[in-house]
Amino acid sequence: MGFTQEIQRRRTFAIISHPDAGKTTLTEKLLLFGGAIHVAGAVKSNKIKKTATSDFMEIEKQRGISVATSVMGFEYNDHKINILDTPGHQDFAEDTFRTLTAVDSVIIVIDAAKGVENQTRKLMEVCRMRNTPVMVFINKMDRPSKDPFDLLEEVEDELKIQVRPLSWPIGNGPSFQGVYNVFENSLNLFEANKPTVQESLAIDDVKNPELDNIIGEDPAQLLREEIELMEGVYPQFETQKYLKGELAPVFFGSALNNFGVNELLNCFIQIAPTPQPSETTTRTIEPNEDKFTGFVFKIHANMDPNHRNRIAFVKICSGKFERNKNYLHVRQGKNYKFSSPTAFMAEKKSVIDEAYPGDIVGLPDSGNFIIGDTLTEGEKINFKGLPSFSPELFRYIENADPMKTKQLNKGIDQLMDEGVAQLFTSQFNGRKIIGTVGALQFEVIEHRLSHEYNAKCRYEPINLYKACWIRSENTTELADFKLRKAQYMAKDKQGRDVFLADSSYMLQLAQQNFTDIEFHFTSEF
């Protein structure tokens, strides 16, 4: 197969949802279609059930599972599909944000009874920022659900995207009879726990009287009315609008019953984007360029504390990646070759010789990579779009075992490179401050410092509202700001200036009084 064909047949995407909406179940059904797994239950949920209480087993389990399910590749109808897993727990939202920078599209799963939930809303903001094309799967139609029109309106309002249903549900809960596929004009009758996909019935038009015989007169009448109304309210589906991230096709179904999943997948491979160009600070990289480029979007530590090896997950942006070939690590200015790059097929990992744009390869790493690092065949470029987000929770981190200072510093350093949290050094008192998006990260850090680095840390409270990166062309004003806010100034790991506001009021005031200073809430600007 030619290089261009290899690119054209790839689809790299993530499934996002609020916990419990059905992401794991849907992933599993998709893998079953691809023949990548053969039994249900093979995909492990990477959920952490508890919110903020200590449960180290859960943390360890989470880490173990998340390396196994980070990327799931499978073949389906001559397509190579890569599903990138995202942690459902909100404390790991930053991990999810970074994963979203490595996908070309997204499928959003929504619980039909609950509608749009909090976590979905937040993740959609990231998709919107990047104009990522999204498809929506409204799940659990076998349970009593909200009215489909209300659900669609909710998606439009809350996720701020135009929608277009490509299938329509017939009833819900106990009265759920199936879906009418508007895309293909066919009727798909619901049957609980279908082991295989049954044939759908071709119905050229909902007006066909045959429909009354199949689903009953009243439901058929209602379906006709609803579809007529729906066609009037929602615009025709346009693939171009979907690809621009302006219009989301919507499917209804039940992942648990493997219902509506095949339709989703078939439409997905037809319309979902092939590997897309990537922006660097200097130029746009096209996937079909013949030279390899890629970036690290995730780093995973080894589960074995005695081996501090890690896996760097590299998204291939252009060219062909080859085993044992020399590549430039742009930040270090050094060449490396990789003798055992791994690819991820379903739950299996295997060493590969080559990989193509859209693929993810796992590179064993002994500490050379940090998130955002670029690999090329020599060109000095840096990919954009891997920002750190302004953390919301802060604590001072202190050494609790003076004999282990070196271990502690090394541990903190590496954990920050992995993107577990962000480290700021106060310019006022020199103390180290850890900033995170979720409370669980503090536990993860403490636990891993002790288990992997044999170091002990202690936290002390610090009352902060937000950390923001500041910049200004006006050097006088910047110097004045730093002087007056000396108590609140810190440096991030890259040495950039960070302002630590202790209240929203203080931040507002600073923004008002120093109009030449830009306050940034992500590290990339």
Site residues, ligand GDP (CB under 6 A)? 17, 19-25, 45, 47, 88, 139-140, 142-143, 254-257
The residue among 257 and 374 lying less far from ligand GDP, judged by its C-beta, is 257
The residue among 16 and 445 lying less far from ligand GDP, judged by its C-beta, is 16
- Name the minimum Å distance from CB 330 to ligand GDP: 36
Q: Is 287 annotated as a binding residue?
A: no
Strand boundaries in 357-480, DSSP class E: 360-365, 374-376, 393-399, 422-426, 432-436, 457-461, 466-471
The residue among 143 and 451 lying less far from ligand GDP, judged by its C-beta, is 143
269: its two tokens = 């491979």
SS3 205: coil
User: What radius of gyration, in Å, describes the C-alpha atoms of the chain?
Assistant: 25
Q: Is 20 annotated as a binding residue?
A: yes
112: its two tokens = 């039909």
Closest CA to 496 of 523, 514, 517: 523
Q: Is 491 annotated as a binding residue?
A: no
Q: Is 17 annotated as a binding residue?
A: yes
- Name the minimum Å distance from CB 211 to ligand GDP: 24
> Going by DSSP bridges, is the β-strand pair 497-501/186-189 parallel, antiparallel, or unpaired?
unpaired
Q: Is 85 annotated as a binding residue?
A: yes
- Name the minimum Å distance from CB 178 to ligand GDP: 13
CA atoms within 13 A on the CB side of 413: 9
CA distances from 177 to 226, 268, 309 (A): 15, 24, 52
Element (H, E) at 451: helix 440-453
Q: Is 216 annotated as a binding residue?
A: no
Closest CA to 329 of 344, 312, 309: 312
- The pair phi, psi for residue 184, each rounded to 5°, is -115, 0
The residue among 144 and 378 lying less far from ligand GDP, judged by its C-beta, is 144
Residue with tokens 């950390």: 467
Q: Is 18 annotated as a binding residue?
A: yes
The residue among 88 and 372 lying less far from ligand GDP, judged by its C-beta, is 88
- Name the minimum Å distance from CB 50 to ligand GDP: 14
- Name the minimum Å distance from CB 417 to ligand GDP: 28
The residue among 61 and 143 lying less far from ligand GDP, judged by its C-beta, is 143
- Name the minimum Å distance from CB 33 to ligand GDP: 16
The annotated binding site is made up of 17-24, 85-89, 139-142
The annotated binding site for GTP is made up of 17-24, 85-89, 139-142
